[in-house]
């Protein structure tokens, strides 16, 4: 029977093992420490004791289906775990880099989560942060765009607003799909008191507010003629909205960073597929008949 303190793929040992959830601080920070120790102290071929440890840690060995490893001392020397096990026990540089990034992400996000609760260091700023949250929420943006589209009396205006609506819907869809696939939990210090959420919003990667902020601000800068101070304000709004997600404890830094990246890229897709009377005449003809 396998010992509860064993690890195959560098998972945490001992009593905390059962409660560590991927994406939770415990998994990323506490678990990561053991993983680094085991990686550093047990490099491939560096130490015969380590080699024995690796062989005895192999799941194949524990299943008893690796005959040489369980034989007597005379036959034990050539015993090596199968190739796939050796790969698990010698993670790549990329693996270590990603785990380090995750640990830094969790640490920094916790430090920046200064408005996560009323009693937090910056708890008094929380209402302002929540106002910002509403300014980047999907519902006001969708309803506002629909309203302006229906009220617009110029075809050029309607075309731009129809594309903004398309962009907002594409953004909601992409974020929902990625959140559903990645299923990263929101930070432990987050209070789930958000205005109007759907089921995938219990997950945090990527930040929907950050994608919307990047997408909408890029859209506005491209399609609205604005004076420089207003353009600066739009960029500032997007940046502060992203920062506020971490300060409120809603997200980790990487959720917001990836959200900005995704929103920026989504605008490029919208620009590429720009809906106009030339490429989707049916949309505009239908509208004309209303």
C-alpha 230/C-alpha 227 separation (Å) is 5
The closest of 182, 160, 180, 161 to 172, measured between CA atoms, is: 180
Backbone phi, then psi, for 13, in 5-degree steps? -95, 170
Cα torsion 137, 138, 139, 142 to 10°: value is 130
For the bound state, the minimum distance from the C-beta of residue 138 to ligand LBIIBCTY, rounded and expressed in Å, comes to 3
Query: Residue 224: which of 156, 151, 136 has the closest Cα?
Result: 156
Q: Within 10 A of 28 (CB to CB), how many other CB atoms are there?
A: 21
Question: Is residue 3 classed exposed, middle or buried when 0-12, 13-18 and 19+ CB atoms within 10 A define those classes?
Answer: exposed
CA-to-CA dists, residue 66 to 70, 81, 157, 249, angstroms: 7, 8, 71, 48
Helix ranges, the chain (H): 25, 31-41, 48-57, 59-63, 73-76, 83-89, 93-112, 126-135, 138-151, 155-182, 208-223, 228-247, 253-272, 281-289
Active site residues: 209, 251
Task: Kindly write down the DSSP assignment for every residue of 134-201, as one continuous string.
Answer: HHT-HHHHHHHHHHHHHH--SHHHHHHHHHHHHHHHHHHHHHHHHHHHH-PBPPTT-----SS--GGG
Min dist. Cβ of residue 75 to ligand LBIIBCTY (A)? 57
Q: Which residues bind ligand LBIIBCTY (CB under 6 A)?
A: 137-139, 172, 194, 196-198, 201, 207-209, 245, 250
* 203 DSSP β-pair partners: 185
Closer to ligand LBIIBCTY by CB, 66 or 203: give it. 203
Q: Is the peptide bond before 206 cis (omega within 30 degrees of 0)?
A: yes
């Amino acid at each position: 029977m396998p010992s509860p303190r064993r690890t195959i793929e560098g998972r945490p040992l001992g009593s905390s093992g059962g409660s560590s959830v991927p994406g939770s601080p415990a998994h990323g920070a506490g678990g990561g420490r053991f993983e680094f120790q085991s990686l550093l102290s047990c490099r491939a071929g560096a130490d015969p004791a380590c080699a024995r440890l690796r062989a005895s840690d192999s799941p194949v060995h524990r299943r008893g289906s690796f005959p040489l490893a369980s034989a007597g001392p005379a036959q034990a020397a050539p015993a090596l775990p199968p190739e796939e096990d050796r790969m698990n026990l010698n993670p790549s540089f990329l693996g270590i880099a990603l785990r380090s990034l995750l640990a830094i992400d969790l640490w920094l996000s916790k430090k920046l989560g200064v408005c996560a609760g009323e009693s937090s260091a910056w708890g008094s700023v929380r209402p302002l942060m929540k106002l910002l949250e509403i300014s980047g929420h999907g519902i006001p943006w969708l309803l506002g765009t629909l309203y302006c589209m229906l009220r617009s009396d110029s075809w050029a205006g309607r075309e731009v607003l129809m594309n903004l609506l398309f962009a907002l819907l594409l953004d909601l869809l992409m974020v929902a799909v990625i959140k559903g696939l990645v299923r990263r939990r929101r930070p432990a210090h987050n209070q789930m008191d958000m205005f109007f959420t759907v089921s995938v919003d219990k997950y945090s990667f990527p930040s929907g507010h950050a994608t919307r902020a990047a997408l909408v601000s890029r859209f506005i800068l491209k399609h609205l003629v604005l004076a420089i101070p207003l353009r600066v304000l739009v960029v500032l709004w997007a940046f502060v909205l992203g920062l506020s997600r971490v300060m409120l404890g809603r997200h980790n830094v990487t959720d917001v960073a990836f959200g900005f990246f995704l929103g920026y890229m989504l605008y490029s897709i919208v620009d590429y597929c720009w809906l106009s009377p030339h490429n989707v005449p049916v949309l505009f003809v239908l509208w004309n008949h209303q």
